[in-house]
């Protein structure tokens, strides 16, 4: 293994803001993020496939009244987010190194207030559909982990993934207020018409609250 990668992995072991296999908290955090990790009861927001964690860090700086957890399987990417969070003393940020498939081992049903999927791998091959972050098997996990009224956001610049995800969301039960835009930068939510960027598409929905039937 390259020396730089080994160095990052050894730093990851000593980072208190990173939960990963081999650390005590890895098997204990489920249902206990507030008490064991953040020491408060603030709402929990996840970014799945966070890469270097820039989006997680950005959201955490903007909203100190919420706890943010970046999840990714790649230790050398997540290393960056852990380091910056430590340097900036962002106490409302944590990182979890695990597979999205295993989220249920680390979060209790209804433990999460919000989930962000930021530019996930499009996985265009038909045979890879099961690995898309918006495949029904994953969406079902997200729905279970979200509290009633909890929100899921997807941002992508890949039209095929966007259309696929929209169809999956439309076919789901137990969600409401599905909203989407084909071009975030040219919609009312954010206008920057001169940016020479590919359109960023966004969809979001709420987990239905069966009590309120919303």
Ligand X SMILES: C[S@@+](CC[C@H](N)C(=O)[O-])C[C@H]1O[C@@H](n2cnc3c(N)ncnc32)[C@H](O)[C@@H]1O
Considering only residues 82 to 111 of the shown chain, the ones binding ligand X according to CB under 6 A are: 99-101
| Complete DSSP assignment for 124-179 | -SGGGGGGSTTSHHHHHHHHHHEEEEEEEEEEES-HHHHHHHHHHHHH-SSEEEEE
Task: Please give the C-alpha separations between residue 156 and each of 21, 84, 190, 201, in angstroms, as whole numbers.
Answer: 29, 25, 15, 5
50 binds ligand X (CB under 6 A): yes
Q: From the CB of 121, what's the least distance to ligand X, in Å?
A: 5
From 27, 88, 105, 121, residue interacting with ligand X (rule: CB under 6 A): 121
Minimum distance of ligand X from residue 59's CB (angstroms): 12
* 72/78 Cα distance (integer angstroms): 7
Q: At 4, which helix (H) or strand (E)?
A: helix 3-14
Identify which of 169, 154, 167, 164 has the alpha carbon closest to the alpha carbon of residue 201.
Answer: 154
Residue 132 engages ligand X in binding (rule: CB under 6 A):
no
Residue 120 is a binding residue for ligand X (CB under 6 A): yes
How close are the terminal C-alpha atoms of the chain, in Å? Answer: 51
- Residue closer to ligand X by CB (options 121, 159) is 121
* Chain position carrying tokens 């966007």: 162
Q: With respect to ligand X, which residue has the nearer C-beta, 32 or 101? A: 101
In angstroms, give the least distance from the CB of 214 to ligand X: 29
Give the residue among 72, 80, 74 at the shortest CA–CA distance from 15. Answer: 80
State the minimum distance, in angstroms, from the CB of residue 29 to ligand X: 16
73 binds ligand X (CB under 6 A): yes
- Quote the CA–CA distance of 205 and 87 in Å, as a whole number: 34
- For the record, the structure tokens of 67 come out as 């706890």
State yes or no: is 121 an active-site residue. Answer: yes
Under the binding rule (CB under 6 A), the answer on residue 70 touching ligand X is no
Among residues 8, 15, 77, 151, the one that binds ligand X under rule CB under 6 A: 77
Residue 72 in the binding site for ligand X (CB under 6 A)? yes
Number of residues that bind ligand X (CB under 6 A): 14
CB-neighbour burial class of residue 65 (10 A; exposed 0-12, middle 13-18, buried 19+): exposed
Options 27, 72, 86, 121, the catalytic residue: 121
Contact with ligand X (CB under 6 A) among 9, 26, 80, 119: 119
The verdict on 75 binding ligand X (CB under 6 A) reads no
Q: Give me the active site residues, please.
A: 121
Q: What does the binding site for ligand X look like in residue numbers (CB under 6 A)?
A: 49-51, 72-74, 77, 99-101, 118-121
């Amino acid at each position: 293994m390259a020396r730089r990668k080994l160095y990052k992995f050894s730093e990851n072991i000593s980072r208190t803001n990173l939960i990963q296999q081999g650390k005590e908290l890895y098997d204990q955090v489920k249902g206990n993020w507030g008490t064991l990790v953040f020491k408060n009861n603030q709402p929990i927001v996840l970014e799945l496939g966070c890469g270097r964690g820039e989006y997680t860090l950005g959201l955490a700086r903007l909203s100190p009244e919420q706890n943010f957890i970046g999840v990714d399987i790649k230790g050398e990417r997540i290393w960056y987010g852990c380091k910056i969070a430590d340097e900036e003393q962002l106490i409302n940020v944590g990182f979890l190194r695990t597979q999205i498939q295993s989220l249920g081992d680390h979060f209790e049903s209804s433990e999460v207030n919000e989930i962000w999927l930021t530019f996930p791998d499009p996985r265009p091959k038909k045979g890879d559909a099961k690995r898309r972050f918006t495949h029904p098997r994953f969406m079902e996990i997200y729905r279970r982990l979200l509290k009633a009224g909890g929100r899921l956001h997807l941002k992508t610049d890949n039209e095929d993934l966007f259309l696929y995800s929209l169809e999956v969301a439309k076919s789901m039960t137990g969600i409401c207020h599905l909203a989407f835009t084909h071009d975030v930068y040219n919609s009312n939510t954010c206008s920057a018409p001169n940016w020479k960027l590919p359109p960023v598409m966004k969809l979001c929905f709420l987990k239905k609250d069966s009590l309120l039937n919303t």
